[in-house]
């Protein structure tokens, strides 16, 4: 590990993993104070602010030599002095069961060239790479010639951001207002057709979770036909969701992705997906949810007693929809699979997905950097079947171009994806340094 930037990023990642920030409860303060102290010592203006004392969000700002006009809270007035680039990440993690791991999930061990621990991929590695890049720039005396650099590290992403990005954007929008944003969501190299492809996440799907109900007639379970079993009425609906897929609604990001992969797109992506299945079924499985509405039944309830035929059955379905799609269109797509009768449907969570333009100065900077660092590799836009805090920033600041991108060159998507939220989560230490170099270089490019 001869590169000083890589060494600092890896060591910082190890330190961050050793903070147990499993959410709930999160308990991110100690990690945030470590990062805040490092950034303040390097010359950043650091603010720790949160809904509670135990869970502060970190906002660190590096201004140019001639500061732009400021608001009352000290933040720059939007639209003056060039773009504000935000390097965004979160330090909370999901649970880890030590019994299922080969190494302690909070060890931060560097073993066989990998950093091990919960958050190594999601996403303390990106926090470490972004902060190490920002520290390196500030310590060498670099300052933005135009615009400003923000390093924002939030809490509570893993449970929806109510104390993190959502709270910040609602209660302190001027503190985190930005024009360009880099966050999690893509960047791990994808081997494809003999080449190497890096995805850039330009959008996230919406969430339209719903409850299906079927009704019957209760009766004693010892005489099965004396009632009308609502659970059996639910069975065909479950089978349809297993067997059928709503039609695709191809948005800008997935269309550009399919074209970037050299596939024949057609009207809705069906032909492209079929071609991809023939050549790379694993990648096709990952791409398919980006193209349209997905239905995943996850929880079912019926009778509260083993000896009572249920008069009602309910199943909850995790439904993800393309960016921009709203309830009426979602209902149409659901009806394609389930039909129009024989059940009740109620949405209990509705969040419209959003996205950023496929082409921008930020995309150009990413494309140029990848071309310089990995000759012959290409980049393609992607969308995330789930969601990140980028969605919150796009909604709060409509002009913000927000992408998910942390480049991994050595660990492929197929190696990394199964480890996220799983046992033995780890990252190739070289990729931590590779990403830190990207955040350093793209910051220089955009703000110099």
How many domains does the structure of the chain reveal? Answer: 2
Q: Are residues 272 and 179 in the same domain?
A: no
Q: Are residues 20 and 100 in the same domain?
A: yes
Q: Are residues 366 and 339 in the same domain?
A: no
442 in a domain, yes or no?
Answer: yes
Is residue 230 classed as helix, strand or coil in its secondary structure?
Answer: helix
Q: What is the CATH number of the domain that holds 127?
A: 3.40.630.10
Predicted pLDDT of residue 73: 56
Report the sign of the C-alpha dihedral through residues 88, 114, 413, 445, in that order.
positive
Q: Are residues 346 and 358 in the same domain?
A: no
Mind listing the pLDDT tens digit for each residue in 308-344? 999 999 999 999 999 999 999 999 999 999 999 999 9
Percent of the chain scored above 70 by pLDDT? 96
- pLDDT surpasses 90 at 1: no
Percent of the chain scored above 90 by pLDDT? 94
Q: Are residues 176 and 213 in the same domain?
A: no
Mind listing the pLDDT tens digit for each residue in 110-143? 999 999 999 999 999 999 999 999 999 999 999 9
Q: Are residues 46 and 188 in the same domain?
A: yes
163 in a domain, yes or no?
Answer: yes
Predicted pLDDT of residue 79: 47
268 in a domain, yes or no?
Answer: yes
CB-based contacts of 285, cutoff 8 Å, min separation 6: none
DSSP letters spanning 175-229: HH--SEEEESS--B-EEETTEEEEEEEEEE-EEEEEEEEEE-B-EETTSGGGSB-
Q: Are residues 223 and 282 in the same domain?
A: yes
Q: What is the CATH number of the domain that holds 304?
A: 3.30.70.360
Instruction: Residue 297: give the domain boundaries.
Output: 205-351
199 in a domain, yes or no?
Answer: no
Distance between CA atoms of residues 173 and 84, nearest Å:
13
Mind listing the pLDDT tens digit for each residue in 418-441? 999 999 999 999 999 999 999 999
Distance between CA atoms of residues 51 and 167, nearest Å:
7
Q: Are residues 180 and 224 in the same domain?
A: no
Q: Which two tokens stand for residue 357?
A: 């333009």
Q: Which of 321, 351, 381 is the last residue of a domain?
A: 351
Instruction: Give whole-number Cα distances, 197 to 187, 338, 367, in Å.
Output: 9, 37, 11
Beta strands in 12-113 (DSSP E): 45-49, 57-62, 84-90, 110-111
pTM: 0.92
Q: Which of 325, 351, 377 is the last residue of a domain?
A: 351
Distance between CA atoms of residues 146 and 215, nearest Å:
63
197 in a domain, yes or no?
Answer: no
Q: What is the DSSP letter of 422?
A: S
Q: Are residues 142 and 262 in the same domain?
A: no
- pLDDT surpasses 50 at 157: yes
CB-based contacts of 345, cutoff 8 Å, min separation 6: 210, 211, 212, 213, 331, 334
Predicted pLDDT of residue 400: 98
What's the average model confidence in pLDDT over 258-287?
Answer: 93
Mind listing the pLDDT tens digit for each residue in 172-184? 999 999 999 999 9
- pLDDT surpasses 70 at 66: no
Q: Are residues 40 and 185 in the same domain?
A: yes
Mind listing the pLDDT tens digit for each residue in 84-102? 999 999 999 999 999 999 9
CA angle 389, 387, 239 (to 5 degrees): 160
Name the residue among 130, 141, 188, 156 with its Cα closest to residue 5. 130
Q: What is the DSSP letter of 408?
A: B
392 in a domain, yes or no?
Answer: yes
200 in a domain, yes or no?
Answer: no
Predicted pLDDT of residue 65: 77
Looking at 210-315, list the stretches that DSSP marks H as alpha helix, in order from N- to C-terminal side: 230-243, 252-260, 270-279, 281-287
Predicted pLDDT of residue 383: 96
Q: Which two tokens stand for residue 3?
A: 């590169």
Distance between CA atoms of residues 22 and 434, nearest Å:
27
Q: Are residues 287 and 227 in the same domain?
A: yes
Predicted pLDDT of residue 251: 95
Predicted pLDDT of residue 72: 61
363 in a domain, yes or no?
Answer: yes
Q: Are residues 265 and 184 in the same domain?
A: no
Q: Which of 351, 385, 417 is the last residue of a domain?
A: 351
Q: What is the mean pLDDT of the chain?
A: 95
């Amino acid at each position: 590990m001869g590169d000083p930037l890589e060494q600092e990023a890896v060591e910082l990642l190890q330190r961050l993993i050793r903070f147990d920030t499993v959410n709930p409860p999160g308990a991110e303060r100690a990690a945030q104070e470590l990062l805040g102290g490092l950034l303040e010592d390097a010359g950043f203006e650091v603010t720790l602010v949160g809904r509670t004392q135990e869970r502060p969000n970190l906002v660190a700002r590096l201004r140019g030599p001639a500061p732009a006009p400021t608001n009352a809270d000290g933040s720059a007035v939007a639209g003056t002095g060039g773009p504000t680039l935000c390097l965004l990440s979160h330090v909370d993690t999901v649970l880890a069961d030590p019994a299922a791991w080969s190494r302690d999930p909070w060890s931060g061990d560097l073993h066989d060239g990998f950093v091990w621990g919960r958050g190594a991929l999601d996403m303390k590695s990106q926090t470490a790479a972004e902060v190490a890049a920002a520290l390196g720039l500030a310590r060498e005396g670099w300052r933005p010639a135009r615009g400003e650099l923000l390093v924002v590290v939030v809490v509570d992403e893993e449970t929806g951001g109510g104390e993190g990005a959502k709270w910040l954007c609602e209660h302190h929008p001027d503190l985190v207002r930005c024009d360009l944003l880099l966050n999690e969501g893509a960047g791990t190299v994808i081997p494809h057709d003999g080449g190497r492809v890096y995805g850039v996440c330009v959008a996230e799907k919406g969430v339209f979770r719903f409850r299906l109900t079927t009704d019957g007639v209760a009766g004693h379970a010892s005489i099965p036909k004396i009632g009308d079993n609502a659970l059996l009425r639910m069975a065909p609906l479950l089978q349809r969701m297993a067997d059928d897929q709503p039609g695709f609604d191809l948005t800008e990001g997935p269309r550009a992705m399919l074209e970037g992969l050299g596939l024949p797109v057609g009207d809705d992506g069906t032909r492209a997906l079929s071609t991809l299945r023939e050549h790379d079924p694993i990648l096709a499985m990952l791409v398919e949810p980006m193209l349209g509405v997905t239905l995943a039944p996850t929880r079912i309830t019926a009778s509260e007693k083993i000896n009572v035929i249920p008069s009602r059955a309910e199943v909850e379905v995790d439904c993800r929809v393309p960016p921009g799609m709203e309830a009426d269109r979602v209902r149409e797509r659901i009806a394609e699979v389930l039909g129009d009768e024989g059940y009740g449907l109620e949405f209990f969570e509705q969040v419209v997905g959003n996205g950023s333009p496929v082409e921008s100065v930020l995309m150009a900077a990413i494309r140029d950097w990848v071309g310089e660092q990995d000759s012959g590799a290409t980049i393609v836009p992607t969308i995330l079947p789930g969601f990140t805090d980028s969605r919150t920033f796009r909604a709060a600041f409509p002009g913000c171009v927000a992408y998910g991108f942390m480049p991994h060159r050595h660990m492929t998507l197929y190696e990394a994806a199964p480890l996220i939220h799983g046992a033995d989560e780890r990252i190739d230490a070289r990729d931590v340094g590779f990403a830190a170099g990207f955040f350093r270089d793209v910051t220089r490019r955009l703000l110099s």
